[in-house]
Amino acid sequence: MWTDIKILNQYVPKRKLILFIIATFSNAFLNLATALIIQQATEMQGENSVHKIIVFGLSSMLLYAYVAISFLFINYIETSLVYSVSIGMKKTLLKIFTFRKTEFKNSEKISILTNDMQLFIDRFLMQILDIPIYIIMFGVPLIYMLSQNWLMGLLFGIGSITLPFPQILLNKKLSDWGKQLSEKKAVLLQVTSDEINGRTTIIYNNSLTFMLKYGEKKIKDSENAWLWSNVWLQIALAFSMLLKGVVQIVPFIMGFLMIVHGGNLSFAVLLALFLISQQMGQPIQQILLAFSRVQTMKKVCTKIFNILNDNQEISISNLSDSPKDFESLVIRHLSKSFGEIQIFDNFSYTIPFGAKILIKGKSGSGKSTLLKLITDDLQTDQGEIFLQQHEQKTTLSPKDFGVINQEPFIFNGSLTYNLCLEQAFTKKELLEVLEAVHLEEFSLDYLLINNGENLSGGQKIRLELARFLLRKKKLLLVDEVTAALDDSTAKAVRSLIYSLPITIIEVAHHIDDESRYDDIILLERRGTDESYS
């Protein structure tokens, strides 16, 4: 728990936290205002002084004005604090999910950033901040009641504390439904995402009716969990209201009897204590409700805090630097295995700048694995891969190379947005790269939608090439880029790639003309030990 608090503290602005503490105490008189005014008015019964009545009226209005300002102050500061924490945490999560690979699928990452983070804000962070507010709202009135008459104050205070008992008794049920709600929402998000993204597969396999029924079932499961989560909460609150009629009327009757028998209690004080006690039940209920909601968020909080806790320093500032010049790409003593299968064993190779290299081999021979080792998407077991310039070696980073595969990702937005990706380039630079990749027929304002469904496969690859050229990188990794294209488009794309004055490492199953390559790396099984060379 302390680790979680430490992580959360990183995202809390200290100035706003101080203001929140001040605002919490300034809001303490919210539940006292009406009772104090009623008590004062009762004690003024029979007062004939116009001056005192006017002073009473003005002071009462000032008290309400103070309460209103305090109420606005605490709510603004709390919202502002949540705003800052939410932005900080979401920015870090987005950076982690975008910059490095994690155990989560893309749909799970989206769910964490949207659904889980919203639940975290509403049912954890807001509740944690509400707890001290409601403790103060209960504590200050209780102290006031005890100062007026300790016996009656104690009775009314005990009665207020017992009001949340039904909620305590039903806490397990509330917790279970809260857990189910979180799980069902996550499942629904994944199922709907799959059905929308895989709609053509569903239609062409005649499964539309069945998959829609499956999706509808998940919708009902999610909404059912939401329904019963709220039903049990309302049942708990209803029993609390029923109990309220007992625990507040009994002390009031006892107070009446005390006044009748000449006890040290006035009707004005008794009325004030009764009114205050009616307001005191709400903070106790809110405190327990907050604790209950926090309990339901254990699984979500654990997931989010574990991601943030594993967050190492992510530096992306150097990714915007210019690509490094190099004389050669060096692979030295590379070894990589998956379990008992040895993919590379002490493999060394040097690729001079400007060379066109083809990597061939059967499926599973390690072609794409080699590219992933170069891009650092996979870690080597032994050996190193680096750029060399004037006998100095430097580590490869994403700023130094581009990667093109058969399914480039196209963002929803204009052609300009897809080229620049929020970086600054001149219109002249954009038009030049479009002409270089033969996409000059498209305007820069052309809107691309749904991962480029309004582009052909060849146009998508050319757009990815345009992105690469725009950033003036010197190393291009090509992974089965023409596998899904027709012959004429494949030849046009490959000719375009060959014409670039850069280093190219291409993975392909089948190439019609291998003469264009400076060298070919053939990956094949070696003997019967499931290793490759």
pLDDT digits (tens, 9 = 90+) for 183-201: 888 889 888 888 888 888 8
Residue range 360-373: mean pLDDT, rounded? 84
At 405, is the pLDDT very low, low, confident or very high (cuts 50, 70, 90)? confident
- CB count within 10 Å of CB 319 equals 11
| DSSP codes joined into one string, 66-120 | HHHHHHHHHHHHHHHHHHHHHHHHHHHHHHHHHHS--SS-HHHHHHIIIIIHHHH
Closest CA to 132 of 287, 15, 301, 22: 287
pLDDT score of 527 more than 50: no
pLDDT score at 429: 92
In the three-class reduction of DSSP (H, G, I as helix; E, B as strand; rest coil), residue 470 is classed as: helix
Residues 2-7, mean pLDDT to the nearest whole number: 78
- Band (pLDDT 50/70/90 cuts) for residue 321 is low
* Structure confidence at residue 176 (pLDDT): 82
pLDDT of residue 355: 92
Share of the chain above pLDDT 70, in %: 95
Q: Is 506 exposed, middle or buried (0-12, 13-18, 19+ CB in 10 A)?
A: buried
* Predicted confidence (pLDDT) at residue 1 exceeds the cutoff of 70: no
Least confident window among 149-158, 301-310, 320-329, 372-381: 320-329
Max CA distance (Å), the chain? 113
- The secondary structure element, H or E, covering residue 433 is helix 427-436
Residue with tokens 């305090």: 70
Is residue 530 classed exposed, middle or buried when 0-12, 13-18 and 19+ CB atoms within 10 A define those classes?
middle
Dist. CA 281–CA 374, nearest whole Å: 64
What pLDDT shows up at residue 533?
44
- Decide which of 212 and 100 is more confident: 212
Q: How far is residue 296's CA from residue 453's CA, in Å, rounded to a whole number?
A: 41
pLDDT tens by residue, 369-396: 898 999 888 889 999 999 998 888 888 8
Q: Nearest CA to 166 among 6, 323, 72, 285?
A: 285
Q: What is the pLDDT of residue 316?
A: 54
Q: Which helix (H) or strand (E) holds 59?
A: helix 50-99
Neighbours of 415 (CB within 10 A): 21
pLDDT band at 319 (very low <50, low <70, confident <90, very high): low
Q: What is the pLDDT of residue 479?
A: 87
- The Cα–Cα gap between 400 and 459 comes to 24
Task: Please give the Cα distance from 26 to 75 (Å, whole number).
Answer: 12
Helix %, strand %, coil % of the chain (to 5): 65, 15, 25
Q: Using CA atoms, how far apart are residues 510 and 347, in angstroms rounded to an integer?
A: 23
How many Cβ atoms sit within 10 Å of the Cβ of residue 69?
12
Q: For the residues 299-313, what does the mean pLDDT come to?
A: 82
Cα 477–chain centre separation: 32
The residue-averaged pLDDT of 102-109 equals 84
User: Mean pLDDT throughout 490-510?
Assistant: 84
Could you tell me if residue 321 is left (phi over 0), alpha (psi between -120 and 50 degrees) or otherwise beta? beta
* HSE, side-chain direction, 13 A CA sphere, residue 493: 28
340/351 Cα distance (integer angstroms) = 29
Q: What angle do CA 224, 230, 234 make, to 5 degrees?
A: 140
Please give the pLDDT value at position 314. Answer: 54
β-pairing, 356-361 with 503-507?
parallel
Task: Supply the pLDDT for residue 529.
Answer: 41
Q: What does the pLDDT read at residue 312?
A: 57
Which pairs with CB-CB distance under 8 Å and at least 24 residues apart come from 385-390? 385/329, 385/330, 385/331, 385/332, 385/334, 386/329, 386/330, 386/332, 387/324, 387/326, 387/328, 387/329, 387/330, 388/326, 388/327, 388/328, 388/329, 388/330, 389/324, 389/325, 389/326, 389/327, 390/327
pLDDT at residue 206 above 70? yes
Beta-strand relationship, 519-523 and 328-338: unpaired
3-state class (DSSP) for residue 478: strand
